[in-house]
Amino acid sequence: MWLILKHSPLTLALLFAPGLVVSAIFLVYPVINGVRLSLTNASPMRPIQRFVGLSNYTYLLSDRTFWEVLANSFVIVGAAIAISMVAGFALALLLNQGLRGTYFFRVAVFQIWVVPWISVAILWGWVFNADYGIVNYVMVRIGLIGHNLNWFADPYLARLVIILGFAWRMIPFMMVVSLAALQSISKEILDAAAVDGAGPWERLRDIVLPLLRNILVVMGLLQGVKLFQEITLPWVLTQGGPVNATTTLSLYAYKLAFQRWDFGLASTVGTLWLCILLVFALAYLRFFVSARND
């Protein structure tokens, strides 16, 4: 089959044509159009669209709010990934011990992954509600705080709530992928290390983590890209406040496009956002290639 395709370029082109067309429509065109719009003053409030060059980029890169939003995005997404990765990996290590009831627990925890983001936002809003939220109730009862906290009115507390919400949603995915990776490690390698005197911590540090390094990096990259796009949780809970404390790049672009009706500036945010993610992707590829060469 491969020889036929190799000697028939037309057949090979026709075979890949549907995929290329779909990619061009849903991937390439939106990116090109977004970059084009970022060079204009496009807005439904303006009858005529005008080319403005790099003015939008100059404005954003000199705007304090943009840098604040960018920092928020890295802090929120980075902290959420770190928490979910540690928690998910720890659960995977526990489940990998083959304890009774682990299959039921794994299935139950993974259900969190399929819960819609809007449901997560509503649940989180109830859990951290200032008047009747369960978090305030428990913390007051055990004496950690003397009165109910208004989690969504304080910038640091609001940011913490968003981070925990992101992490809680990501933990099942991290757990399942980590568990699958752990089960791919040969038991003979770990048994041999144990015979040589390596304890559980030494086996984890010197064998398990190096073998799973690439998988963990891929998980972090995938979840980082996903969380950078998430808008539902911060929009429903805080609308990006207080004082932009929980405004991420996705929410910032949404506000520019559909509150200020500045499509050009919103497209500029999207283009810069894409460039940032490309930097992360290139860093990952360099890391992955160097790891394979080692």
Q: Which residues are within 8 A (CB) of 243 and not within 5 positions of it... i.e. 6 or more apart?
A: 155
**Vertex 286 angle, CA 281 and 291, to 5°:** 125
Identify the three-state secondary structure at position 247: coil
What's the pLDDT at 280?
75
Looking up tokens 């406040």 gives: 241
Helices 64-95 and 102-110: angle between axes, nearest 10 degrees: 160
Identify the bridge partners of residue 40 per DSSP, sorted by sequence position.
51
* pLDDT digit string (tens) for the chain, length 294 residues: 444 545 566 666 666 677 767 767 777 788 888 889 999 998 888 888 899 999 999 999 999 999 999 999 999 999 999 999 999 999 888 888 877 766 676 666 766 777 788 888 999 999 999 888 999 999 999 988 888 999 999 999 999 999 999 999 898 888 888 888 888 888 888 888 888 888 888 888 888 888 888 888 888 888 888 888 899 999 999 999 888 899 999 999 999 999 999 999 999 999 998 888 888 777 777 766 555 555
Omega of the bond prior to 242 within 30 degrees of 0, cis? yes
Cβ-based burial of 270 (10 A; exposed 0-12, middle 13-18, buried ≥19): buried
* Contact in structure between 241 and 65 (CB atoms under 8 Å): no
Q: What tokens were used for 121? A: 């936002």
Each residue of 177-215: b (16+ CB within 10 Å) or e? bbbebbeeeeeeebeebeeeebeeeebeeebbeeebeee
Q: What tokens were used for 220? A: 């972090």
* Contact in structure between 245 and 156 (CB atoms under 8 Å): yes
What's the pLDDT at 120?
86
What's the pLDDT at 65?
93
Global pTM value: 0.86
Alpha carbon of 168 to those of 122, 138, 162: distances in Å? 14, 19, 10
Cβ-based burial of 20 (10 A; exposed 0-12, middle 13-18, buried ≥19): exposed
What's the pLDDT at 132?
87
The rounded distance, in Å, linking the Cα atoms of 193 and 189 is 6
The rounded distance, in Å, linking the Cα atoms of 225 and 183 is 26
Going 171 to 113 to 237 to 235, the CA torsion angle's sign is: positive
Looking up tokens 């100059």 gives: 58
Domains delineated in the chain: 63-293 (1.10.3720.10)
